[in-house]
Amino acid sequence: MPGTMKLYNFTVSGREETARLMFAYTGMKYEDIRVNEEDWRKMKKDMPFRQLPVLDVDGQLICQSGTILRYAARRCKLNGRTDEEEAIADMVTDCIFDLMMVLPWAEENPELKALKWKKALEETIPAMLGYLEEIFVKGGGDYFTGQLSYADFAILNAGDFLLTLRKEIFDLAPKLRAHMDKIKALPNVTEWMTQRPG
């Protein structure tokens, strides 16, 4: 089994936070390294694709958020018991990635950006959360795959952020919101979310 892990990302958390949530839950040891702009200028040339996040596993650099999360899920035994469960966890997490990209992060026109944010937060994302709730309910209503998996941590990570943008965003998905609260209350998870930086 590989030894040391170092997770590098900027000071603001993103998709990679799902890995931190899993590490917190399982007690997995790793170094959480937050990179400022000055440090990034020095280390950028040594990173695959010249981007973050990067997970360093005994010197092997792993990048791409989805790859990091799937690797972390396997290390934490949260990837599903069967190929089908793993595929469902991947499907749900990829959908959550898509959902977060609905937000118009790169729009530069202020008026158009305001309109796009409103549509995303009041229409598109609530509908997508409703679709995710349907999948959750079909999975048995306890977890997305029938047992705890990285998909459950992915919805907690994304949902926790979305609630800071619009408190009613889960109105079409109340069971999913309740599920998030259940995952947040797991041992070590609440403690991490309370004390985490960024």
Annotated active-site positions, please?
A: 8, 15, 105
Query: What is the distance between the alpha carbons of residues 69 and 125, in angstroms, rounded to a whole number?
Result: 22
Please give the sequence-ordered ranges of beta strands (E in DSSP) within the chain, or none if there are none: 5-10, 31-35, 54-57, 60-63
Residue 16, CA distances (Å) to 10, 12, 31, 135 in order? 10, 10, 13, 23
DSSP 44: G
User: Three-state SS for 108?
Assistant: coil
